[in-house]
Amino acid sequence: MDEAAAVRSAARATVEDVEPERLRSSLLGFIDSTSLTPGVVALLTARLCSNPDGDHERPAAGVQLIYNGLRLTKELAHTEPWLTDTHRERGNMEILVADVLVARGFSLLSHTSAGTAAVDVVRSFGQNEADAFDAEHTTPEATERALKRDVLELALITGTTVVDEVQSAGMHADLQRIAADLVDSCDGSGFPAPDTFLSNGVADRLTQSVAGASVDS
């Protein structure tokens, strides 16, 4: 899929200057091993709302990097590799990788109107994870679903920032509904590969929903 390749390339370019080499290699490895679906959704949405040939790869990569970092943070919080000497060093490296991924993602979105939405996603993630540890009724599946829903909403918001900012703000409720609908199409842990996620009519639904939200707003 061309969109996936474009998002991966933009995401990798964002961390190519990171030193030392071991950290950069870990960053690139995690980018390459994580589903690119959030970034692809952002890129497709931008192309639906604007000139398909516009430069939308960097904001889409910002969404992808934030998801990558939060996804890794979630894994570390639940596996706690520091509890064993065998995995402590790996855990230290991976928490640094997670921090860099989120920070670089923010840097790509900070000068867009999606920057505030990105902050909201991170805050929501932190609160959901804290609640999961404090409340017996909160399941890992629930926090996983919340992360995917929030990231898809961020992807849609980022994609629509190519339109008039007032119009984009008016679409917010529609974007929340679309994100919730899209989460229903992917069960399990994490996102499937973009081509799998967008199969079974999801790409058509995304096209119709974003176009409809743009008209209604």
Give the structural domain span for 118. 2-216
Q: CA-CA distance, 53 to 117, in Å (whole number)?
A: 25
* Number of domains the chain is built from: 1
Predicted confidence at residue 9, as pLDDT, reads 97
16 in Cβ contact with 90 (< 8 Å): no
The CATH number of residue 189's host domain is 1.10.600.10
Chain segment 109-162, per-residue pLDDT in tens: 998 889 999 999 999 999 988 887 776 656 777 888 999 999 999 999 998 886
72 in Cβ contact with 39 (< 8 Å): no
Smallest Cα–Cα separation from 6: which of 64, 67, 66, 71? 64
122 in Cβ contact with 148 (< 8 Å): no
Three-state SS across 150-175?
A: HHHHHHHHHHHCCCCHHHHHHCHHHH
Positive or negative: CA dihedral 148, 185, 131, 153: positive
Predicted confidence at residue 98, as pLDDT, reads 96
Q: CA-CA distance, 60 to 39, in Å (whole number)?
A: 5
Q: CA-CA distance, 17 to 159, in Å (whole number)?
A: 26
Smallest Cα–Cα separation from 43: which of 13, 2, 100? 2
Chain segment 70-112, per-residue pLDDT in tens: 999 998 887 877 767 667 777 889 999 999 999 999 999 998 8
How far from chain centre, in Å, is Cα 68?
7
Predicted confidence at residue 166, as pLDDT, reads 46
- Per-residue pLDDT band at 214 (split at 50, 70, 90): low
State the maximum Cα–Cα separation within the chain, in Å, rounded to a whole number. 57
Q: CA-CA distance, 212 to 174, in Å (whole number)?
A: 9
Query: Taking 50 as the threshold, does the pLDDT of residue 175 lie above it?
Result: yes
